[in-house]
Amino acid sequence: MDSSTLQLKRMIYASLMAALTAVGAYIAIPIGPVPIVLQNLFALLAGLLLGGRWGVISIAVYLLAGAAGLPVFAGGTGGIGKFVGPTGGYLFGYVPAVYLVGMIAEKGRGRVAVDLMAMLAGTLTIYAFGVPWLKLITGMTWSKAAAVGMLPFLIGDGLKIAVAIPIVRALRPMLDGLTGPVRVAG
């Protein structure tokens, strides 16, 4: 594959991951009292599958599409309002989270323990941005913000981390050669 084809393919994979992340915002799997929304799983998978750099590009494209007003966020909304709204922190928390996941996973070269650690770090990073923002915007107390914005989702997050491992093991071979570190400016 010549370099322009490779670049085009990486670009397409990152775009499709961004579209999948948007699809994750639309789809909830009904398990237990709180349905599992797949958006953050798909966002973190972008990091695991594409690596740090292209994972971040993918999530940035997703956020950019949303910022431009396209309906890619949960419930079919979009627009800058989502960023400054109460759940905005989770959205821009994706950027450092995916970067972290991608960087750790690249170091691990497919080792399960490293992938697990990466997912854990990513999930925590999302809350590290999401919960304080929720508190700031809605003026709730810390305990209330955590009770509304974190505790109900923790079980689902555990499941997502567990399921991410077999998923990347099944999908990585498809992307082989496309996800290594790249120097071409994006």
Partner 1 sequence: MGELTAIGFIPGRSLLHRLDPRTKQMLLFLLGGLSLNAGVTFLGVVTLALGILGRSAGLSLGRTIAETRYFLYFLVFVFAVRAVSFSGGWIPSVSLPALVEAGMVCWRLLSVVLMGILLMASTRIAHIRAALVWFLRPIPGINPRMAATMVGLVVRFLPLILFQAREMSDAQRARCIDRRKNPLVRLRHFTIPLFRRVFLGADELAAAMQARCYSNDRTLPALAFGRIDAVALGVALLLAATVFIQ
Looking at beta carbons only, is 113 or 174 nearer to partner 1?
Answer: 174
Provide the 10 A C-beta neighbour count for residue 129. 19
| Residues in binding contact with partner 1, number by CB under 8 A | 62
Crossing angle of helices 39-67 and 3-26, rounded to 10°: 100
> Which stretch, 76-84, 93-101, 106-114, 119-127, contacts partner 1 (CB under 8 A)?
76-84
> Rounded CA gap, 164 and 57, in Å?
20
Q: Which of residues 81-100 bind partner 1 (CB under 8 A)?
A: 81, 84-86
Binding-site string for partner 1 from residue 149 to residue 168, where x marks contact by CB under 8 A and - marks none = ----------xx-xx--xx-
> Among 28, 34, 77, 117, which residue sits at the site for partner 1 (rule: CB under 8 A)?
77
34 part of the interface to partner 1, by CB under 8 A: no
Give the residue, chosen from 170, 176, 181, 183, that forms a contact with partner 1 under the rule CB under 8 A.
170
* CA neighbor of 119 nearest in space, from 71, 161, 60: 161
**C-beta of 117 vs 159, nearer to partner 1:** 159
Q: Which of 28, 34, 78, 120 binds partner 1 (CB under 8 A)?
A: 78
HSE-CB at 26 with a 13 A cutoff on CA atoms is 10
Smallest gap from Cβ 100 to partner 1, in A, equals 19
**Residues at the interface with partner 1 (CB under 8 A):** 5, 8-9, 11-16, 18-20, 22-23, 26-27, 29, 31-32, 36, 38, 41, 45, 57, 60-62, 64-65, 68-72, 74-81, 84-86, 138-140, 144, 148, 159-160, 162-163, 166-167, 170-171, 174-175, 185-186
